[in-house]
A and B are shown apart, each in its own frame.
Chain A
């Protein structure tokens, strides 16, 4: 079976066809039709299918800006949240830019219901939301990932009342992580974009039906993994920011560095994205993706975007050059009006693009004082680019190394995350990556297909699934919020860590199977805590917090 990866980005659509041997058979790059993501997908598919010479079946991996744009441009369905906060932070202070209706009910940190919901109040809130224009609804309770019963009860009431919501998202299903405001925002966004994703999934389903060689369609997620079409309709919010993830997956798929720590640098026109790979695995955002003004719990790869790129503005003050963070426009060599770092590279013969003479002319106009020759200025601009980039990389790692940790052992023996190599992507990478690498004293690699590799990244992505397991043996309870599991465990005091791990792995495997996944990698325990509960000098139970996931593998591509 072959895989086609398509990334419908903001400007361009990248596509790649990969064969059984995981060789790149062909890539395509077309401008994105912003208003019509389906058309962009279709034309990219068509182009790349030109390389498809046999009758092998094809799996399609699709990354689009559909949900991202809908959120950023506020084009989602009108949605509202019924929140069950209990005491604590004043929720009104968060000033959400969507309607939130507060109802009573209270779950504490151990997942115990302190106060129940009031049926009438919940129904009134939902009716009010509907009357105020909400078509989709999210129901989110504080600590609902420890006890989902209030969310479930509220949903039952609202569904039975037949209020006509197109979609009801429950907070606990999206994430087992602690963070009530983020859970509210995630659930709201999920409810809001569900309709759009459903519509798109139907069209892609049709596309698949029309192209019998397409066996399966997978949608890319912000964590660099894939999920099925049906799953993408239930958890559409997880498809945000899949483009940047595709670029990191491409780096992992193509780099000669397989298991080492590397820094991935994707240099674009306006911005440069920096990502960290540690021991062959991309780092995740600590809490979740941030999109526009929304902080979510959506698992996402860690990237830092800086305002530095091939088209950055060049500032010269008192013999000091500073680049960005604004974009100057297209390079003078390409007919732009302002000098850009790209022009400096073109003038010096480091890159071939547009007209070299125009680049030199732009440099001459700015060559004064300390930089009184165009060559001197060009050289200085290129050096400053490399300096700003290497400083930004250093800062990213300093920040990562200072991420708070909660155990003595982590403070005393922090893992070595520093990169052993710098891996570059993007059109200007060939010029600037070697120079930045020199500053950082690291070996470097500019990837093949570096100017349009996101299609390869999409093709190389594999399924990911993650579960949170919370076991409280004093209450004899086991909770897996993502699956809606809340069951009793027997003989709690005899329960141990080994059993907890085993349950986490089994449940993750079962979940993967339920989703129809077969080609997934190892299941690993990525977070684990155990606490003895001592009351009045006796151990009365233990708390286990585990997070298990399918190892977010990437298919290596040649």
Chain B
């Protein structure tokens, strides 16, 4: 009798009544053919593959990973809350031992959502994986080690932003080279903040990379890094836009390649990200991921138009892939020896400033951020964020964040700073978030700029 080798919890939520706009890639139709293929293949009847209904996340869950300006209620819609709730459910199923692994096959996606949220960017508003990771830490304690491997064709800039100074997280993003694709980031040189240097790993791949190149990266880079870092949980942010038929990207992965990738990665939790070849790729890639997670035979899986010759990588691709792998590997191996003072300075704070563009909502944000270079913990930080454009008024907010496992003096300094900032007239709102204590403060509370 057919049975999953490893039980899989499937949180399938295609949101058939939700779209960004009717002709947007994130529209009702996106997972229609995936639904049809999953049902027709009979996957949901296989013992060991269980389907679950997502739950709805509340403000508190979302605020563990995000500062939503002006409030969660004003930025996050119900469909987003369901996607977040479904992703958190995936983690709960695994943590409760109800299933061996779980797949949150749902939309809308989230990996372009940064910690500070003024609106939507890259079709994302809030970061499903990041909120789930914070949820897991609140269940498991601050010591848990979680690796996120993002296999979407776009750089997971939002997830990177949220965890870039977080020593508990290893974030690996495989993607099409940022010089050729949105969001234009994710270079090898982006390696993480002062407290987690080397734990942000970017693997930019040249356009045209196919199964061969991807499997080379998995075998020679991702798998060895994971084996060395020894995460307690592996999360795969499984975007499917590396597929050869994707309209937005220029990569050459196949459904079978994605299944093989899943098998090699052996993730505890898979979360769907992008992927907009809704007829030619998603039905087959998703079936492939489910089969691979369940330990079932996916060798008969291929796309209707699949032809081995057409999918061979261009000649020049493999040498570039090999060179990227070599560089990243070298960086990984030397990450602990590097002089962090030289990189982040000797001052009390490390400062970075950057613009952030919200393509979906046409918002421009400017961030000034300083992180305390603390010898005892990963350091509290302060962010000033100015945003304008799209449908929002010019907004200026200040944010104070106390990280997990913060030392006493960082907690104290952060609280003092929050009180000081909250007293200033300069900011429309001032936020305070202490991760471990699960405290979220805002002055003025539920501020609405439109009523000013």
Binding site for B on A (CB under 8 A): 87-91, 93-95, 106, 108-110, 112, 114, 142-143, 177-182, 287, 293, 295, 402-409, 411-412, 529, 531-534, 536-539, 543
Contacts and interface: CB of A to CB of B under 8 A. Distances in A.
Q: Which of B32, B35, B42 has the most CB of A within 10 A?
A: B42
Given A94-B2, A411-B53, A543-B32, A89 B291 contact: yes
A408 B19 CA distance: 11
21 contacts: A87-B304, A93-B297, A109-B33, A109-B36, A109-B40, A110-B33, A178-B39, A180-B40, A180-B42, A182-B45, A403-B53, A404-B12, A406-B13, A406-B16, A407-B18, A409-B17, A531-B28, A532-B27, A534-B22, A534-B23, A536-B247
A408 B33 CA distance: 18
Contact of B300 (A89, A143, A412, A534): A89
A178 B36 contact: yes
A150 to B, nearest CB: 14
B14 interface: yes
A542 B35 CA distance: 17
A142 B37 CA distance: 10
A538 B23 CA distance: 7
Given A89-B291, A109-B279, A405-B53, A537 B18 contact: no
A404 B52 contact: yes
B82 A408 contact: yes
Given A177-B39, A406-B15, 18 more contacts: A87-B301, A89-B41, A94-B2, A94-B42, A106-B304, A108-B304, A109-B40, A110-B279, A112-B304, A142-B40, A143-B40, A180-B40, A180-B41, A293-B1, A408-B78, A531-B16, A534-B23, A543-B29
B302 interface: yes
Contacts of B297: 89-90, 93
B267 interface: no
Given A89-B42, A287-B45, A407-B17, A532 B29 contact: yes
B19 to A, nearest CB: 9
B40 A179 contact: yes
Q: Which of A88, A108, A181, A287 has the most CB of B within 10 A?
A: A88
Contacts of A93: 2, 296-297
A364 B296 CA distance: 55
B414 interface: no
A178 B304 CA distance: 19
B299 interface: yes
Contact of A88 (B13, B45, B52, B300): B300
A533 B15 CA distance: 16
Interface string B39-66: 1111101000001111010000000000
A109 B282 CA distance: 12
Contacts of A87: 300-304
A532 B278 CA distance: 13
Q: Which of A109, A110, A180, A295 has the most CB of B within 10 A?
A: A109
Contacts of B54: 411
B318 interface: no
Contacts of A142: 40-41
